[in-house]
Amino acid sequence: MKRLIVIALIGCGSWFYLSRPATPHVQTAPPLVALRSVSETQAPLQRNPDSTEIFQVNGYELRPLQAFAIKARVLAVEQYRAGREADLSPVDIAFGWGRMADPAITDKLSISQSGRWYHWRYSGTPPLPPREIETSSGNMHLIPADQEVARNLRAVDKGRLVSLRGYLVEARGRDGWSWRSSLTREDTGGGSCEVIFVQSIELH
């Protein structure tokens, strides 16, 4: 019985450790993004940052590439604990905006995530032209700026409308490893995902 209790306590401790949001260690982060509010019917907003000064998160150097704001529908959520990217981004969210924010459209698609990729499929006639699906949705790698943002990112579920503000960034490790955000919604395939340092999140 004593051994079973010890095993149970270890299991509970492991569950608590793995389920709790990580506390990002951020040094000299850029100021909060100042962009006008955006609707889920619009494409995300971005502009040149006021500063491109490098800052640090969890021992990695991050450089702001563009200030960024989005309001969009959550199409899928995937949490990661393994892999180099998980040192920075514990959560990927696939977002849809424009007509891809309409559940009547997205309910006709089969949507999934794996390996830091976002996949969509349909049977029969597509609910939207495939090119519109590609340019009105995207998988985004999210780097929380603080523990509150990390906690809120983990609370996001499919179907929710979410607003994010922050920066599209390029991350570099001391060993030369790098991870760079896409700067356009028009691309597809490898390198087309956004890598976002998330400073604020609002769940609608």
Largest Cα separation within the chain, whole Å, is 62
Residue 5 pLDDT greater than 80, yes or no: no
Phi first, then psi, for residue 39 (nearest 5°) are -95, 155
Q: Is the confidence at residue 14, as pLDDT, over 70?
A: no
CB contact at 8 A, 67 and 33: yes
Residue 154 corresponds to which amino acid? R
In the chain, which ranges are E strands?
A: 26-27, 45-47, 55-57, 60-79, 91-96, 110-114, 117-121, 137-144, 161-172, 178-180, 194-203
| pLDDT tens-place string over residues 175-184 | 999 999 999 9
**Per-residue pLDDT tens over the stretch 91-145:** 999 999 999 999 999 999 999 999 999 999 999 999 999 999 999 999 999 999 9
> Which residue's entry shows tokens 């997205």?
106
State pLDDT tens for residues 134-163.
999 999 999 999 999 999 999 999 999 999
Domain boundaries of the chain, sorted by first residue: 2-203
Question: Per residue in 144-156, is it b (16+ CB within 10 Å) or e — as a string?
Answer: bbeeebbebbbeb
d(CA 157, CA 204): 11
The helix or strand, by DSSP H or E, that contains position 147, with its residue range, turns out to be helix 147-155
Q: What pLDDT, on a 0 to 100 scale, did the predictor assign at position 37? A: 84
- C-alpha 165/C-alpha 184 separation (Å) is 16
Q: What is the mean pLDDT of the chain?
A: 90
The sign of the dihedral angle between the CA atoms of 104, 108, 113, 118 is negative
Please determine, for residue 9, whether its predicted confidence score (pLDDT) is greater than 60: no
16 or 71: which leads in pLDDT: 71
* Range 185-201 average pLDDT: 96
In angstroms, the CA 93 to CA 27 distance is 25
pLDDT at 8: 36
Between 2 and 77, whose confidence is greater?
A: 77
